[in-house]
Chains A and B, each alone.
Chain A
Amino acid sequence: MKVRTLLFLLLPLFVHPQSSVKGKIVDKDQQPIAYVNIGIVNGEKGTVTDENGFFELTLSPEELKNPNNILKISCIGFISKTYSLVDKELYKGEIRVELEQHITVLDQVTVSSNAINEYTIGHDKVNSAKQVNFSIHRKRNENLGAEIGRRFHLKKGKNTLKSLRFFISENQFDRIKLRINIYGIEDNMPKKRLNPENYILDIQNFKSGWIIYDFPKGKPWLTENNIIISLEWVDFTKEDTEKNARLAIPITVPKFFNTHYYRYGSQSQWKRFDNMSTALILDYLHHN
């Protein structure tokens, strides 16, 4: 009887030896890769590697059981990898995943004598009573990689991004890191990420107000004129881990001709919200 009881208690351990996937992502030289997106494709959970390439993704028993769940590991500049969540290799302690660099030849911006027009587009209203919450800080292992974005329509032709401004209405973290992502659009949803590299913002001891990010100069032309720019939550620190913390951005509803996008974590499904917008402003240069 005692043996049967013991077996019964141990059974779940044999079925699901681990409720999370953890490990380290490295390049071919075994150097850690920071800010890699790891998550269930179109699922509800995701995370991001830290500066040393480490990650841990918490999974529910339901997610572990579903043979259709695909774990995707992707990073700007590297070829993505996918795994079935039922792959036992994922649960053998800390896994080590090597990503192969993705080499692309990009059309670099060259200075020409033609006229350059500077445009400012976006939404600058911050007096809205409504806010969107970016993060759930106690769920680092399932909510990192959350993104808030907005659609921008640029002039047709060759453009370069100059700067992005956005407003934080409330930030209770000591330090946050955000990545700025640029996406092409297909069927009014974000598709291919167009960043040539990581655009990371390191924000420390900042409670509320406008943040400005200047895009690096000399980057490739942006030839797509209908894009989505998002802010992605990739890292944070908070000394007082007991209290729940908020990171919020104001949103205006309704706002015709504006489209707001959100996703909960890395690789999770995008949600689109028509006729609303967060406070995001883009300055860009149009090269005639």
Chain B
Amino acid sequence: MLGIGFHFGFAQSTELNDVQKRELDSVITDCVKKIELDNSIETATASTQLLERLVRKYDDWSSHYYLLYFKILVIRNAKASEVAQNAYNSFMVSFDKVLKQSVTDRQKSEIYTLKGFVYLTALSSDPIKHGRELAPKVTELFDKATALYPENPRPIYLNALFQQGMSKFFNKNYNVCSDLLLANKYFAMQANLRTDYLYPAWGAEHTANEIFDNCNCQVKESSTTKN
């Protein structure tokens, strides 16, 4: 009985009052905007450290979520493999805890997306080494995230870029545009509804850039046959 009560309490995560929400929103907004301006290892590391202090203060889903997200940016921007490996290990340790803290399907969808994003980052850095092991996991995680919350644009656009990257790697064609445009539509819908930064919002600009790159008849990957 005690065990059930503890688990229930943990899974619910802390309810924040308005003042706490405003503080959390302010810190997350600040970190996200700094990353948008300067997507470097220094900014990602500073944001991670700030969020680490914040999760100790508020055991809240949003702070845990963004801490995981900034760890991914550290992995992605790390210049030394040890730094990336440490951030990867730290992400994996935290992941299960944050998944347990996720109550709604939307929250679970976002968390599975982050794990897929981590595997995608590792896979795309060395497809020959990691492709066989990680490709099925990436697909599974993005599929699961989309099934839990079909209007989540992040697994849609990341999965589209993953499929496109794998196709190019194997010299095959893949039309990425329909999925990117669908993700863009969901990003626009959610941007109209959002009032704060306590819910994930990243990916819209990346999607827009990829649409610009891929969906304006400038796709260069092609093949012709000469006999």
Binding site for B on A (CB under 8 A): 115-122, 124-125, 127, 153, 155, 188, 226, 253-254, 256-259, 271, 273-275, 281
Contact A121–B125 (Cβ < 8 Å): no
Q: Mark B29-47, 1 if CB is under 8 A from A, else 0.
A: 0000000000100000000
Within the complex, which residue of A117, A127, A226, A281 is in contact with B223, where a contact is CB–CB below 8 Å?
A: A117
A253 and B171 contacting across the interface, CB-CB below 8 Å: no
Instruction: State in angstroms the CA–CA spacing of A256 and B169 once bound together.
Output: 11
Is there a chain A Cβ closer than 8 Å to B218's Cβ?
yes
Among B39, B127, B169, B223, contact of A119 (Cβ-Cβ < 8 Å): B223
Q: Are A120 and B162 in contact (CB under 8 A)?
A: no
B223 touches A120 (CB 8 A): yes
Q: A120-B220, A155-B171, A274-B121 are in contact. Are A257 and B165 (CB under 8 A)?
A: yes
CB <8 Å contact, B212 and A188: no
Main SS of the interface on chain B?
helix
Q: What separation, in Å, do the CA atoms of A127 and B210 have in the docked complex?
A: 12
> How many positions in chain B have a CB within 8 Å of any CB in the partner chain?
30
A259 partner residues in chain B, CB cutoff 8 A: 125-126
Of all chain A residues, the one with the shortest Cβ separation from B218 is A124
Q: Is the CB of B226 within 8 A of A116?
A: yes
CA distance A125 to B216 in the complex (A): 12
Known: A257-B166, A281-B220. 6 other contacts (CB 8 A): A120-B223, A124-B220, A257-B124, A257-B165, A271-B79, A274-B124
Across the interface, do B221 and A120 meet the contact criterion of CB distance under 8 Å?
yes
The answer, yes or no, to whether B227 is at the interface (CB within 8 Å) is: yes
How far is B77's CA from A13's CA once the two chains are assembled, in angstroms?
Answer: 44
Distance, CA A75 to CA B71, complexed state (A): 42
Query: Is B87 part of the binding interface, using a Cβ–Cβ cutoff of 8 Å?
Result: no
Q: Given that A118-B226, A256-B161, A274-B76 are contacting pairs, would A188 and B221 also be in contact in the complex, using a CB cutoff of 8 Å?
A: no
Separation of A259 and B128 alpha carbons in the complex (Å): 13
The residue from A121, A122, A254, A281 contacting B76, defined by CB atoms under 8 A apart: A254
Contact of B227 with A115 in the complex, beta carbons under 8 Å: yes
Contact A274 B125 (CB under 8 A): yes
